[in-house]
Structure 1
Amino acid sequence: MVMRQRALYRSFILICGLLFLQPAPLIARVVEQVVTVIDGEPYTVSNLRDYAQAKLGREFPKGDLNRIENEDKEVLEQFITEKLLAAEIKQAGIKIRDEEIDQYIEQVKQRNQLSNEDLNAALSREGMNLEAYRASIRAEIEKSEMVSRQVLKKVNITSDDVERYYRLNTRQFMTPEKVRLRHILVSLPQGASPEDEREALRKATELRSRAVAGEEFSKLAAEYSEGAGASGGGDIGWVTRGSLLKEIEDFAFNKLTVGEISQPVRTSLGVHLVKLEGRESAQPLPLAEVQGKIKEELFAKAREERFQNWLKGDLRRKHRVDVKIPGVVFRPEETKEKTVDSLMASSASKRNRNEDSGFLGFLNPLSYIFTTKPIEGEDAEGESSGRSIVSVFGVPLLATDTGEDVPDDPLAPVTTDEKSGQKSQDSGGFFSSVWKTLNPFSK
């Protein structure tokens, strides 16, 4: 009996021990979310976050990726496109020599009178070192060369295209309607007294009566007009719409026949008499005068179309992209090359590339390489008021008064005249060709 009790007691103790025995804790591993797989290479949230901060200056993600917002989707599309471009660049064997990068940096330093220390300080202020700066230059030039190969060299506008466009869009290439006028002004300030108003109107009415009765309008203008051109008989010359005071323009273009003199017209300057001396209706400009403009416009439309078709169609078809976010599919779009005729049909609606290109706009390297930003806050006082900072690859290097002060070819070699000591830019050379290459939208 005693033995059985002891056995039962041991069993009870063993069961209790098993009941209260805690399993050894497992070491938890947090596996980061994979956002997309590009050609077999996975990219995580961290990859996208680093890209968004470095290239776009924004956070990623803004919200829940399972219900992705437009801003996060835009970052994702840009990231994928950059990776596809990088793969194409590698496959094409595009390489930029170190010597070319050295020359580029030396030109930036020369143009802005920077020493090595100045450049390094400017880079440091932007959170960048020289190595990263060189990498940015290399990547952007490589990207531009790839775009150039796929777009610019495959766009051709012929003289037949230009002539056909001209025939279908003749109204776009017309000389403006013009009128030739003479006028007499009886000066009268705004807010004049009623007596002065009546006197000016009486004088203008009397002068009109004399002109209608046969006196030469030009002689009356030379003697009595207080307006521009009085010494020349009130001759204003040939003018187009938009160049006259509204009240006078209405009479000149809509109410008078050639040789007719208007009734007195009150404007902010006083009381006018207007005589219509001649009229020329709008006429088509000769093709020879506008063919350059037409070719440029067609080329711009064709290259933009080709660029977007390649980016959204051909480029995507060559690579495998699997997005791991619900509701997001990155697939090639079915695109079709338009003919010049179809481009002509849409020519009336001139598009702003910055508005239409959407997330593709970032692929224009000039938007990243060369930017201007107004000087604001306390820095905008004194001599800096109204000026802008010009940055190259995000590094502030120039200060200008207006956008027009920035040269068309900021990388063209700078030369110094031995006699005057003044600096000027040549139109050719390595840096000029690089600048033109950098912009995939330049011919």
Structure 2
Amino acid sequence: MGIRYRLVLAGIVATLMLVFAATATASAAAEVIDRIVAVVNEDIILLSELKERMAPFVQRIRSQGYDLEKERTMIFKVREEILNRLVDEKLTDQEIKRNDLQVDDTQIDNTIETIKKANSFTDEDLRRFLEQENMTMDQYRDKIREQVLRSRLVNYEVKSKIVITDEEIQSYYDSHPEIYGGKTRYHLRNILMMVPENPTDEEKETVKARMQILRTRIQQGESFAELAKAFSQSPTAGDGGDLGEFEMGTLAPRIQAAIEGLEPGDTTEVLDTDAGLQLFYLEAINRSEGKPIESVKAEIQQKLFAEVVDKKFVSWLETLRSQSHIKIIN
């Protein structure tokens, strides 16, 4: 964050005086050094703060080779987003001060150690990283202090007021069977007969008639696997047409529709597919056991908590903005 100023008359005058580097001759253009881009209650945001935050994003955009118009549009959008973020940070910093939230050096040390551990950094690695970012250790500690204080403010204003009930956890569990319910897998075999490329209706009907005969023989009790070995042109013919197990959602829609409602031992109608004409045989339906709610209760609670925190935080910020004096200066 940049230097914070009290928005009193003398401060405004002093800041506006910085707009010009020096008194120039009548023919020389004055160079803008800094100016105010936003007023947030008693604080201001300077152009230099905004530019510093924008720099890495602008550099990335300019390296992509966009045309000038698109580049300008993207940079303007980034400017808007980052300026809004700076406004939010000013508001939260003011709330931190109003609530007299504090963080001591020990907590800063512990946070830095946690960051180092998460990134497998030694002290030397961290210092090297800070050098690359043109940041001193004192500046880094100040940034960590800001982050810890803001996190504490969120805890104070938002998280501490959120309660996730057992009913909400149960509802989430029941509505997500694809995550917590048991898996149903369908063990399939197939018989494939190919048709000539660009077949005539007669050629296609001939192949279909042969497939219908096989389907009748299966329904009369002959082994699907043995008939697949004898007649199928599929690569799995040697294994009796064994395709393995599938979850319903992984199958092509037409095959799903054909299999739905079948019992183990049933065979589909003859299907016209991209590979050729096929019969599918449902060998078995295997259902795995789902996860008991007690084993995933903490996981669901964390998910719901994170969702509520995001919504509550946005709502809290919007309320804070509505109660504040914010002026954007273009």
* TM-score between the two structures when normalised by the length of structure 2: 0.60
Q: Which residue of 1 aligns with 2:310?
A: 304
One of 88, 92, 100 as aligned partner of 1:92 = 100
Q: Which residue of 1 aligns with 2:5?
A: none
Q: Which residue of 2 aligns with 1:434?
A: none
**Post-superposition offset of 1:296:** 3.9
Secondary structure of 1:242's aligned partner: helix
Q: Which runs of 5+ in 2 are unaligned?
A: 1-15, 20-34, 59-75
Instruction: Give 1:335-350 correspondences, 5 Å limit.
Output: none
Instruction: Give 1:200-349 correspondences, 5 Å limit.
Output: 204-221=211-228, 223-225=230-232, 227=234, 233-234=240-241, 236=243, 239-253=246-260, 260-276=266-282, 294-314=300-320, 317=323, 321-323=325-327, 325=329
Q: Structure 1's 234 and 159: CA in aligned 2 closer, same or farther, altered over 3 A?
A: same
One of 143, 153, 160 as aligned partner of 2:167 = 160
Asked if 2 retains the 8 angstrom alpha-carbon contact of 1:187 and 1:270, the reply is yes
Q: Structure 1's 184 and 95: CA in aligned 2 closer, same or farther, altered over 3 A?
A: closer
One of 127, 132, 135 as aligned partner of 2:134 = 127
One of 39, 42, 47 as aligned partner of 1:40 = 42
Q: Which residue of 2 aligns with 1:54?
A: 52
**Post-superposition offset of 1:307:** 1.4
Number of residue pairs the alignment of both structures matches: 276
- 1:323 partner amino acid: K
Q: Does 1:142 align with 2:144?
A: no
- Percent of aligned pairs with the same residue? 23
**Post-superposition offset of 1:97:** 0.9
- Bigger Cα Rg: 1
Q: Deviations over 1:390-432 (max 9, x none)?
A: xxxxxxxxxxxxxxxxxxxxxxxxxxxxxxxxxxxxxxxxxxx
Q: Structure 1's 287 and 98: CA in aligned 2 closer, same or farther, altered over 3 A?
A: closer
Q: Which residue of 2 aligns with 1:405?
A: none
Partner Cα distance (2:238, 2:252) in 1 = 21
Partner Cα distance (2:259, 2:89) in 1 = 58
**Post-superposition offset of 1:132:** 2.5
Instruction: Give 1:62-73 correspondences, 5 Å limit.
Output: none
**Post-superposition offset of 1:148:** 2.3
Asked if 2 retains the 8 angstrom alpha-carbon contact of 1:96 and 1:142, the reply is no
Partner Cα distance (2:315, 2:131) in 1 = 39
Q: Structure 1's 36 and 238: CA in aligned 2 closer, same or farther, altered over 3 A?
A: closer
Secondary structure of 1:261's aligned partner: coil
Asked if 1 retains the 8 angstrom alpha-carbon contact of 2:188 and 2:243, the reply is yes
- 1:299 partner amino acid: F
Asked if 2 retains the 8 angstrom alpha-carbon contact of 1:261 and 1:276, the reply is yes
**Post-superposition offset of 1:249:** 2.8
**Post-superposition offset of 1:155:** 1.2
Secondary structure of 2:249's aligned partner: coil
**Post-superposition offset of 1:93:** 3.2
Q: Which runs of 5+ in 1 are unaligned?
A: 1-28, 60-68, 327-443
**Post-superposition offset of 1:140:** 1.7
Asked if 1 retains the 8 angstrom alpha-carbon contact of 2:208 and 2:277, the reply is yes
Asked if 1 retains the 8 angstrom alpha-carbon contact of 2:185 and 2:285, the reply is yes
Secondary structure of 1:92's aligned partner: coil
Q: Structure 1's 158 and 245: CA in aligned 2 closer, same or farther, altered over 3 A?
A: closer
Q: Does 1:184 align with 2:190?
A: yes
* TM-score between the two structures when normalised by the length of structure 1: 0.47
Q: Deviations over 1:218-257 (max 9, x none)?
A: 4323554465776775455664333224443332238x67
**Post-superposition offset of 1:324:** 6.7
Asked if 1 retains the 8 angstrom alpha-carbon contact of 2:186 and 2:248, the reply is no
The root-mean-square deviation of aligned C-alpha atoms, in Å, is 4.8
Q: Deviations over 1:372-406 (max 9, x none)?
A: xxxxxxxxxxxxxxxxxxxxxxxxxxxxxxxxxxx
Asked if 1 retains the 8 angstrom alpha-carbon contact of 2:266 and 2:281, the reply is yes
Asked if 2 retains the 8 angstrom alpha-carbon contact of 1:173 and 1:285, the reply is no
